[in-house]
Amino acid sequence: MKKLILFIIALNISVAAYAQTKWTVDPMHTFVNFAVKHSGISFVDGTFKKFEGTITSNKTDFTDSHISFAADVESISTNVEMRDKHLKSDDFFNAEQYPKMTFESTSFKKKRDNVYVLTGNLTIRDVTKEVRFNVVYGGTVTDPKGNSKAGFLATTKINRLDYHINYDPTGAGIAKDVHITLNLQFAKDK
């Protein structure tokens, strides 16, 4: 009986050591931003105000992470109501038919120190393509309430035409390249 109890304790410790840790995006400290060149002379900035995301990982350096993220297209904001309405139309995102943009990671590799490359599949409208984000891991802290938080800065550039966002296909008025910047904070689930 004593051996059985010791075996069960050892098994529980082993399972706990390999249990995945889940982190959930903190919407109060996360920003999903984009910028696109306009008329060849300036940039229009925008953001998505509603989103959700998780990281699951066994390792404290996150190199074995699976990252899942989704942004609500209807929440797009450029601070110009008429432009936001146009961006939600079929000329751009078609929010009615494609209400979410999603990202699912396939790898999260450490290049050096706190610099990583995040690779995964980005779906916009009806197109899924592989993208790579350059990521700076800001670190992990425990706040005064005992909550663990992790911070990241992720950047990439995509060609909007690759995702059937074909309004102004020449790119003369609205550039083809869209710069994406994600300031992310995740809270460790308890």
The pLDDT tens digits for 18-58 are 468 999 999 999 999 999 999 999 999 999 999 999 999 99
Residue 105 CA to residue 107 CA, distance in Å, equals 6
Quote the DSSP letter at residue 88. Answer: H
Domain boundaries, the chain: 21-188
Other beta carbons less than 10 A from residue 126's beta carbon: 10
Pick from 94, 99, 48: which is nearest to 75 by CA? 48
Could you tell me if 45 and 178 are in contact, meaning their C-beta atoms sit under 8 angstroms apart?
Answer: no
- Span 21-188: which CATH code? 2.40.128.110
Which helix or strand (DSSP H or E) is residue 4 part of?
helix 2-17
Q: Share the mean pLDDT of the chain.
A: 92
Q: Residue count of the chain, please give it.
A: 190
Whole-structure pTM value: 0.88
Could you tell me if 182 and 38 are in contact, meaning their C-beta atoms sit under 8 angstroms apart?
Answer: no
